[in-house]
Structure 1
Amino acid sequence: MPSPPELLRLLLALVLVTAGNAAAAVELPEFREAPAFRNGRGCGGAAAPTIHIAMTLDATYLRGSLAGVHSVLQHASCPENVVFHFLATAPRRLRRAVVAAFPGLPFHIYRFDAALVRGKISTSVRRALDQPLNYARIYLADLLPRTVRRVIYFDSDLVVVDDVARLWAIDLGPHVLGAPEYCHANFTSYFTDRFWSDPSYPLTFFGRRRHPCYFNTGVMVMDLERWRAGDYTKKLESWMEIQKKEARIYELGSLPPFLLVFAGEVKGVEHRWNQHGLGGDNVEGLCRDLHPGPVSLLHWSGKGKPWLRLDARRSCPLDSLWAPYDLLRRKGRDLLAEG
């Protein structure tokens, strides 16, 4: 008869094995193959750059990620020059889904070790923001090969409706990051009273190139060479450790550490490249309209995701703009289309 400690260990092992088997048994949805997108004129030779795009992949957001890839390729003038870099905690099974949807896509998939951040994450206003993969963008410079000097990071809840080469071509100058900034937003609201009352924490914003402004980390052009040289991964982690061990200085997942390190040091990008907030707020996810001005990218940041609202037949008007990029295979409709 096992002793009580041994019995406890056996029960724990059984629970872990059962949970692992259950996770493995969950089937990914099936996706139809996207059209083949070919380069236009002027895409050959050294004059046409290779564009590197990074995204995360997981079972929950896979449908959104593939729709994002589809949108990039459909609107790119040189789609065959776009290389995707995917970060995933379970890369093998997700690779098959990417290959099925985009057989000729040039891509790499990297395993993201959730242990890198599991002890650094504190709870936030929405559970989805607390998932380790939400922090993977912090580690792009470490995970991608050093031959990749610049990358565009895209969230998995957006579609691009313009040639991504225009975003790639922005001049970062001396900056590490480029992103649309929103200086009308109440910047102080992204941090707690405990942060602002501390004698030292707010000093981090002193001496920056410009007044710190909010920017959304779902769309960023990143100079990975400068990132590595400045050891920015460690700088972000240091704020996460303060949040976890010293004082609760923010409430909103992986965004505040980026603001603490980069706000006031970001190369501004046209707002057209991140029409964000289409998923509403982080609590109710209500419908929202577009911001005034031209649109190159639609971003369903917030609680409401277009595929969930469409499936539930409770869609918002702008969700119809996401639907054409959806590659989910619906058996009845797709079989009729193939027949």
Structure 2
Amino acid sequence: MQSSLKDFTSSSIHDPSFHIAFCVDDHYCRSMGATITSIIDHNPGVAFTFHVFAFAISDDNRRRFDQLSIQYGVTTQLHIIDPAIFKPFAHISQFSYYSPTIFTRLLIPSTLQGITDKVLYLDADILCMGSIAELMQLDFGGSAAIVVPDADETTRRRCAALQLSSQRYFNSGVMYMNVTSWMAQEITEKTILSILENGKNYRFPDQDALNVVLEGKIQYINRKWNFLYDLIHDLEKDHRQMRDIGPVGFIHFAGAVKPWNDWCLHASTDLFIKYHKRSPWADIALDPAPRNYKEMRMFSRFLMKRGEVFNSFRWYMKYLAAR
């Protein structure tokens, strides 16, 4: 399954650079910029090629993405996906229930086939905290991907719901893909069909489907390569400093509150700013206040924990009005 692309320049399969891919929209380009600068900062001397997959990117974000190449001497490639690629699935009634964006990262291996034999996919709410040399040197064997276990409770619940005999479940925010094996085993096609046929039973449609299709075809590695840090856990106890998590490769702010939410008043914001200010998106301010009713409700709870009763009530009223 090949995607229709623009802004793509072919390179050799023998390209020695390390390839990393993101799937974003315009709103997440700012956070992706911090992810990329954190990777570059901790891995001097590594030749990187950064791929961005999107259905549309503004001219401003295109300019900033190009600036990355100039600023840091890395290779950047923008892949604009033509939604028409999903037309072969349009006859399946379930397809209309899902936004095509949940399928985007499934296009990475077919797009990069012939360009690189391995690619690291990362969510754009991740920061690199150290060298990735160990990760880069991993041997896939015959595995289609190398992945990281999800949290214990999530694993228990999803294994039961999906009836995974391995009793293992991964978080798909970090996936090191073996392009050749992935394509040979038709993982993309099988995952899309799994979503369309069983998606109503999936809590996380693409992640659950990937776990079902890839069971027995993957390697698991240490959680330090996708350390899940839920800011809500801290803020509902009014803990505003980062917990001691020890040495990790990637810290993944996978919860509903993100470190670029300046209103959360958590030390993770300082960590994000450290890399954000070195990126081409540095002039874009952090989110100064909650932007939707879900964030308003969470902020009201956080304020109550801080003893700010009046402000908590005020934001709760805003939440009720925005529902």
**TM-score by structure 1 length?**
0.66
Are positions 1:251 and 2:203 aligned together?
Answer: yes
Q: Show CA shifts across 1:282-323 (max 9, x none).
A: xx9x9796585421111111211111x22xx32323332222
Are positions 1:317 and 2:271 aligned together?
Answer: no
Deviation, 1:154, is: 0.7
CA distance in 1, matches of 2:217, 2:208: 14
Local SS of the residue matching 1:267: strand
Partner of 2:247: 294
Q: Note the aligned Cα RMSD (angstroms).
A: 3.1
Check whether the contact 1:191–1:251 (CA below 8 A) recurs between aligned residues.
no
Partner of 1:113: 82
1:4-83 paired onto structure 2 within 5 Å: 49-79=16-46, 81-83=47-49
Question: Are residues 121 and 318 of structure 1, via their aligned partners in 2, closer, same or farther at CA, if it must alter by over 3 Å?
Answer: farther
Check whether the contact 1:212–1:264 (CA below 8 A) recurs between aligned residues.
no
Partner of 1:127: none
Local SS of the residue matching 1:152: strand
Deviation, 1:71, is: 0.7
Check whether the contact 1:185–1:213 (CA below 8 A) recurs between aligned residues.
no
Q: 1:87 aligns with which of 53, 59, 65?
A: 53
Deviation, 1:264, is: 4.2
CA distance in 2, matches of 1:279, 1:114: 34
Deviation, 1:261, is: 1.1
CA distance in 2, matches of 1:254, 1:78: 34
Are positions 1:227 and 2:182 aligned together?
Answer: yes
1:129-140 paired onto structure 2 within 5 Å: 131-140=99-108
Question: Are residues 131 and 298 of structure 1, via their aligned partners in 2, closer, same or farther at CA, if it must alter by over 3 Å?
Answer: farther
Counterpart residue type for residue 247 of structure 2:
P
CA distance in 2, matches of 1:296, 1:92: 31
Partner of 1:171: 139
Check whether the contact 2:113–2:179 (CA below 8 A) recurs between aligned residues.
no
Deviation, 1:268, is: 1.5
What stretches of structure 2 of length at least 5 have no aligned partner? 1-13, 286-323
1:142-157 paired onto structure 2 within 5 Å: 142-157=110-125
Check whether the contact 2:150–2:170 (CA below 8 A) recurs between aligned residues.
yes
What stretches of structure 1 of length at least 5 have no aligned partner? 1-45, 124-129, 196-201, 333-339
Deviation, 1:229, is: 0.7
**Greater C-alpha radius of gyration:** 1
CA distance in 2, matches of 1:331, 1:182: 32
1:200-239 paired onto structure 2 within 5 Å: 202=163, 205=164, 211-239=166-194
Q: 2:63 aligns with which of 93, 96, 99?
A: 96
**TM-score by structure 2 length?**
0.69
Q: Show CA shifts across 1:8-59 (max 9, x none).
A: xxxxxxxxxxxxxxxxxxxxxxxxxxxxxxxxxxxxxx9x942111112321
Counterpart residue type for residue 173 of structure 1:
G
Deviation, 1:188, is: 5.3
Deviation, 1:121, is: 5.6
CA distance in 2, matches of 1:74, 1:213: 33
Deviates more, 1:60-69 or 1:101-110: 101-110
CA distance in 1, matches of 2:208, 2:96: 12
Counterpart residue type for residue 198 of structure 2:
Q
CA distance in 1, matches of 2:196, 2:257: 30
Q: 1:267 aligns with which of 199, 219, 222?
A: 219
Counterpart residue type for residue 100 of structure 1:
Q
Deviation, 1:173, is: 1.8
CA distance in 1, matches of 2:245, 2:217: 25
